């Protein structure tokens, strides 16, 4: 089993910003361990379009996706993203927590 890792610094020097591909080669097959978010979204949209086109081709009704469903899905994803982001960040409310944050900033300045 070999590990495949493209050098991000070299990619940036070549002007390939945002390009990131990591994976493991096992028995001749590349198994991706990290997928770019844009690639994932494009793949999902392509799959929906292909399924919808296949249904139309065989005389079946297309997927019942309307504007309200897209708006609700976008709002749900945005809300979940905002909740996870605010949960992940250090939200200091108390005086002690704010003091500890200032102390941590000072320690980080000393380390640099």
13 or 99: which carries more pLDDT confidence?
99
Q: Are residues 27 and 52 in the same domain?
A: no
**Average pLDDT estimate for 50-79:** 89
Q: Are residues 30 and 48 in the same domain?
A: no
Are 82 and 71 spatial neighbours (Cβ–Cβ below 8 Å)?
no
Residue 100 clears pLDDT 70, i.e. is over it: yes
Question: Which residues are CB-contacts of 65 (< 8 A; sequence separation ≥ 6)?
Answer: 48, 52
d(CA 103, CA 24) in angstroms, rounded, equals: 41
Domain count for the chain: 3
Q: Given pLDDT bands bounded at 50, 70 and 90, which one contains residue 30?
A: low
Range of the domain at 56: 35-65
Q: Are residues 79 and 39 in the same domain?
A: no
**Average pLDDT estimate for 36-40:** 74
Q: Are residues 52 and 80 in the same domain?
A: no
Residue 51 clears pLDDT 60, i.e. is over it: yes
Q: Are residues 57 and 72 in the same domain?
A: no
pLDDT for 14 equals 61
Q: Are residues 39 and 77 in the same domain?
A: no
Q: Are residues 44 and 24 in the same domain?
A: no
Residue 78 clears pLDDT 70, i.e. is over it: yes
Q: Are residues 71 and 97 in the same domain?
A: yes
């Amino acid at each position: 089993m070999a590990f495949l890792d493209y050098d991000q610094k070299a990619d940036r020097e070549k002007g390939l910003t945002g390009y990131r591909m990591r994976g493991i080669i096992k028995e001749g097959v590349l198994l991706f361990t990290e997928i770019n978010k844009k690639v994932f979204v494009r793949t999902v949209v392509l799959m929906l379009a292909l399924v919808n086109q296949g249904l139309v081709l065989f005389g079946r009704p297309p997927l019942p996706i309307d504007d309200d469903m897209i708006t609700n899905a976008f709002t749900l994803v945005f809300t979940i993203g905002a909740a996870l982001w605010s949960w992940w960040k250090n939200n200091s409310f108390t005086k002690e927590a704010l003091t500890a944050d200032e102390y941590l900033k000072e320690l980080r300045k000393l380390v640099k």
